[in-house]
């Protein structure tokens, strides 16, 4: 009887181990994004996540054999979500920076864009250089490099802290520009053009003199296995023209 009980105890233990292993080999690649940033990531009328980044990560998932599951969240919570294993990776037009690289690992860059200042359709604001925004009520997305640039470069020129308006979602900032609550919205140029068309706004200035850094996919620090898979897929997609095709599809220069 003791041998019989021991046999079943061993079988049960082996079953638990196999179950745990099966659970850890999930086919899903859970990816965080902030779906308020067309043409990179947004939600269409049917509730689908669409955009260049969404197409890119799904193609990467296909090439590495994993089904992509998108999780939408505020931009400033994405890095923490990776660190806390709430998501496996992040794609959100996120630009590399030294500060971010202390917290997560980044893939090779897949695109670089310039910045822009958005104003309302009837605005008389005129900008010839980024520093001309000093003293205006300026909106930025929380957690972005553009937010940090505004603090570092406009505050010394006279912008007051209460003149910097921070938004979890860029579309909220676009509405405030449209309704005259702020004077300008400072974001990447491609989403600025998309939001200008959607909301009847104007692009007052496009500039490469503010933030210049490649967009990349973030993964948890030390997750070299996933990072290598992503980089290999990206390299293949750049070589076979897939990245260029997606840029063209979404009218991204």
Q: Around Cβ 240, how many Cβ atoms within 10 Å? A: 10
Please state the pTM of the whole predicted model. Answer: 0.85
Q: In Å, how far are 15, 19, 20, 95, 96 from 12, measured between CA atoms?
A: 5, 11, 12, 48, 47
**One-character DSSP codes across 94-105:** PBP-HHHHTTEE
Residues of the chain with pLDDT under 70: 1-26
Closest CA to 192 of 205, 210, 208: 205
Strand-strand pairing, 218-220 and 104-106? antiparallel
Tell me the Cα Rg of the chain: 22
pLDDT at 225: 97
121-150: per-residue pLDDT in tens? 999 999 999 999 999 999 999 999 999 999
pLDDT at 17: 42
pLDDT at 26: 54
Give the DSSP letter of residue 38.
T
Q: In Å, how far are 23, 44, 75, 125, 170 from 36, measured between CA atoms?
A: 32, 11, 9, 25, 6
pLDDT at 82: 98
pLDDT at 34: 97
pLDDT at 196: 97
Q: Around Cβ 152, how many Cβ atoms within 10 Å? A: 9
pLDDT at 150: 98
Who contacts 19 (Cβ-Cβ below 8 Å, separation ≥6)? none
């Amino acid at each position: 009887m003791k041998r019989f009980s021991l046999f079943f105890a061993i079988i049960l233990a082996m079953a638990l181990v196999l179950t745990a292993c099966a659970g850890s080999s999930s086919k899903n690649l859970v990816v965080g994004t902030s779906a308020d940033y067309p043409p990179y990531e947004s939600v269409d009328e049917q509730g689908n996540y669409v955009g260049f980044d969404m197409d890119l990560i799904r193609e990467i998932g296909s090439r590495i054999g994993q089904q992509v599951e998108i999780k939408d969240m505020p931009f400033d919570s994405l890095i923490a979500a990776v660190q806390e294993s709430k998501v496996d990776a992040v794609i959100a037009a996120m630009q590399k920076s030294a500060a971010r690289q202390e917290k997560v690992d980044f893939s090779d860059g897949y695109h670089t864009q310039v910045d822009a200042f958005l104003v309302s359709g009837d605005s008389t604001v005129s900008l010839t250089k980024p520093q001309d925004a000093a003293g205006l009520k300026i909106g930025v997305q929380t957690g972005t490099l553009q937010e940090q640039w505004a603090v570092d470069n406009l505050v010394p020129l006279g912008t007051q802290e209460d003149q910097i308006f921070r938004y979890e979602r860029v579309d909220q900032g676009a509405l405030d520009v449209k309704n005259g609550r702020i004077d300008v919205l400072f974001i990447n140029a491609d989403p600025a053009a998309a939001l200008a068309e959607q909301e009847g706004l104007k692009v007052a200035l496009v500039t490469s003199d503010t933030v210049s850094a490649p967009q990349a996919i973030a993964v948890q620090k030390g997750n070299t296995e996933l990072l290598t898979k992503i980089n290999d897929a990206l390299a293949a997609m750049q070589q076979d023209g897939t990245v260029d095709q997606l840029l063209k599809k979404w009218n991204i220069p």
